[in-house]
Amino acid sequence: MGNEDQRSGVGCDQMVRDHASATSDEVSETPPSTPEQPEIEGKRRLLLWVKAQLLVRTRRELKDLLLKIVFAVAMLIVVLPFFLVVVHLAIVGLGGLTLDFFTTLPGPSLAGGIRNALVGTILLVLVAGGVGIPLSVLGAVYINEYSRPGRIRNLVEFASDVLAGIPSIVIGAFGFAFVVVFLGVGMGLVSGGLTLAFMMIPTVLRTTQEALRQVPVSLREASLALGATKWTTTWRVTIRAAFPGIMTGVLLSIGRVMGETAPLIFTSGNSLGVPTSIVGPASWVASLPYTIWAYVSDPRPYLQVKAHSTALALLIIVLAVDVVANYVSRKVTRRLV
């Protein structure tokens, strides 16, 4: 036990949190004033706590209590919309989430399912990831491992921060003007995927950089001391150690990109079927967000319902991806500690 536990009693906190370490001969007296039967007394304890809070005597204490209430209310207001949105989507759209919904195409009257949108989103994410992930991961590796800290590194970091903040419609307009028209690729899978890649690059680059930075220098040094080249060290040691962090960043940006509509409006086209080619008119591809947008704008009531079901499906998929990302990131902290 060093000096740390003298500082603000933190060490005491740590020590007593592992109850297992308390040996029997140390605890000679039992602590007083804890309730006799904790379960039954739970409600009474809550009441006592509320009473204790209300025991204000001075103006300062009153102000303290009122402010605490204000902060708590702010928290409630912040969380409220989540439940409002999810509950509403479930009420209107849950009924429509049948197996048919996911496996059939919409058909000419749009009365069918959303298989086109589902497949479309997956394909778009594949294209976007296929281009964006290697570019940003490799780029981050270069910046963090090879470049000297200095103007170039600052410039690239600055550029990716700025890129991350660009509105999605501006990226969409750029994708349209540059990829679709200027490069002549035309609307479809490639253009849509590339535009989405533009959105992925800055976030994946930054998160990869962070993950690489977390890897302790001693790991790299140990590898180099054994005679490995920088290339081998980077790939076999550093990236392997940073892999969960990189994976988290990749997953989070995939989740984000799945829900983007604006970049796709002018670049992916739309389709009632599954794309049969990579470029050209046959490559026009539907996507989940675009479908929601199209159905909501349509006056037919059954499409309004389908829009809700699609939104619910999209929400579930995106949240699932996020949960996986969080799980991976928690595995990181456990491994590095």
Partner 1 sequence: MTSEEPSGNSLLLRFPRRIWSYVLGGLRTVRRVRGPAAQDLVGRFVLLVPAFAGSALIILILAFLWYEATPIFLDPQGGPSILVQPIWDPNRDLFGIAVFIVGSFVCTFLAIAMAVPLGVGAAVFLSEFCPLRIRTSIRMIVEMMAAIPSIVYGLWAYVVMVPWIRDSFAPAVQSNPLTSWMPWFQGSTNGLSVLAGSTILAIMLLPTVVAVSDDALQSVPRTYREASLALGATKTETARKIVVSAAIPGIGAAIVLSLGRAVGETMAVLMVTGNSLQIPYSLFDPTYVMTSIITNQLGYAFVFPLWRSALFAVALVLLLMSISFTIIAKWFVRWGMKTRGLV
Partner 2 sequence: MAAWKHQIEIYDLSTWFGPKQVLKGITCHFSDNAVTAIMGPSGCGKSTLLRTINRLNDIIGNFRMKGRVLLEGEDIYGPQANVYELRRKIGMVFQQPNPFPMSVRDNVKYGPRLHGVKDGNELERIVETSLRRAALWDEVKDCLDDPAPNLSGGQQQRLCIARALSVDPPVLLMDEPVSSLDPISAAKIENLIVQLKKDYTIIMVTHNVQQAFRVSDQAAFLYLGELVEFDKTSRIAEAPADERTEAFITGRIG
C-alpha dihedral sign at 81, 83, 86, 87: negative
**Closest separation in Å from C-beta 52 to partner 2:** 10
Report the residue number, 68 or 300, with the smaller CB distance to partner 1.
Answer: 68
22 binds, among partner 1, partner 2, none (CB under 5 to 8 A by kind): partner 2
Report the residue number, 169 or 222, with the smaller CB distance to partner 1.
Answer: 169
Report the residue number, 12 or 336, with the smaller CB distance to partner 2.
Answer: 12
Which one-letter amino acid corresponds to residue 255?
A: G
159 binds, among partner 1, partner 2, none (CB under 5 to 8 A by kind): partner 1
How far is Cα 305 from Cα 311, in angstroms, rounded to an integer?
10
Q: Would you tell me which residues interact with partner 2 (CB under 8 A)?
A: 1-3, 5-9, 11-13, 15-17, 19, 22, 26-34, 57-58, 60-61
**Closest separation in Å from C-beta 140 to partner 1:** 8
277 binds, among partner 2, partner 1, none (CB under 5 to 8 A by kind): none
C-alpha dihedral sign at 235, 241, 247, 249: negative
Single out the residue of 288, 300, 273, 311 nearest to residue 108, CA to CA.
Answer: 273
**Closest separation in Å from C-beta 31 to partner 2:** 4
User: Residue 334's Cα: distance from chain center in Å?
Assistant: 19
In eight-state DSSP terms, residue 21 is G
| 3-state SS record for 156-218 | HHHHHHHHHHCCHHHHHHHHHHHHHHHCCCCCCHHHHHHHHHHHHHHHHHHHHHHHHHHCCHH
**Closest separation in Å from C-beta 259 to partner 1:** 3
Confirm if 291 and 121 have CB atoms less than 8 A apart: no
Report the residue number, 134 or 281, with the smaller CB distance to partner 1.
Answer: 134
For residue 140, CA distances in Å to 205, 207, 208, 283 come to 5, 9, 6, 32
Report the residue number, 3 or 37, with the smaller CB distance to partner 2.
Answer: 3
**Closest separation in Å from C-beta 205 to partner 1:** 6
Longest dimension (CA), the chain: 83
Q: Could you count the other beta carbons within 10 Å of the beta carbon of residue 37?
A: 7
**Closest separation in Å from C-beta 279 to partner 1:** 19
Report the residue number, 19 or 27, with the smaller CB distance to partner 1.
Answer: 19
301 binds, among partner 2, partner 1, none (CB under 5 to 8 A by kind): none
Single out the residue of 251, 164, 157 nearest to residue 213, CA to CA.
Answer: 157
315 binds, among partner 2, partner 1, none (CB under 5 to 8 A by kind): partner 1
5 binds, among partner 2, partner 1, none (CB under 5 to 8 A by kind): partner 2
**Closest separation in Å from C-beta 29 to partner 1:** 27
Report the residue number, 27 or 78, with the smaller CB distance to partner 2.
Answer: 27
How far is Cα 41 from Cα 189, in angstroms, rounded to an integer?
62
